[in-house]
Amino acid sequence: MPRPSPTTPTVAAPPGFAEHCAQLLAPHGPVRLKRMFGGHGLYVDELFIALISRQTLYLKADDATREQFRAAGGRIFAPQMPGRGVVELPYWTVPEEALESDAAMAPWARLAIGAALRARAAAAPKRATAGPAPAKGAPAKRAVAKRALEKRPAAKRGAEDRPALPPAGRKRAG
């Protein structure tokens, strides 16, 4: 039997397909549906684990889980991108029976949640750094900021940089 193309749905989805998929994932945490790119993104506990494109559900996979999706007959999400051609993204279809019940979806949802958690953990160190480390011998950010503050006229400095006013009722020594 010829395999359908990656962007062709295997089953005509009923109306409310996105809501049905959200209900299947609900036992794993609060689910949020977000419309995006003509489809939907699905978040479980604010973790992006799935997308729906052309009424087909794709769950997040990674190196640790991809073979399980492939062995079950899953297809990778491979949309046609303008100017880039077909681009494979790490989201895979699940067996059709997984769309029939929470229990049948559970092992696939756990794989997707695990892949999303690993992706988040791998990205965390990258987000922690605001930019490249300063070159060796480069002045520290605070020293640069302090010099810039000293160069500004007093009128443009913040209140914390102005001399304190004498308490009310006292004359300033002069």
What is this structure's pTM?
0.64
Residues 6+ apart with CB under 8 A from 20: 14, 99
Q: Give me the mean pLDDT over the 4-23 stretch.
A: 63
Predicted confidence band of residue 44 (pLDDT cuts 50, 70, 90): very high
Neighbours of 3 (CB within 10 A): 9
Question: What was the pLDDT predicted at 2?
Answer: 39
Predicted confidence band of residue 36 (pLDDT cuts 50, 70, 90): confident
3 state SS of 52: strand
d(Cα 25, Cα 29) in Å, to the nearest integer? 7
pLDDT in tens, 99-157: 999 999 999 999 999 999 999 999 887 665 556 665 665 555 566 556 655 665 555 55
d(Cα 40, Cα 47) in Å, to the nearest integer? 14
Give the residue with greater pLDDT, 155 vs 47: 47
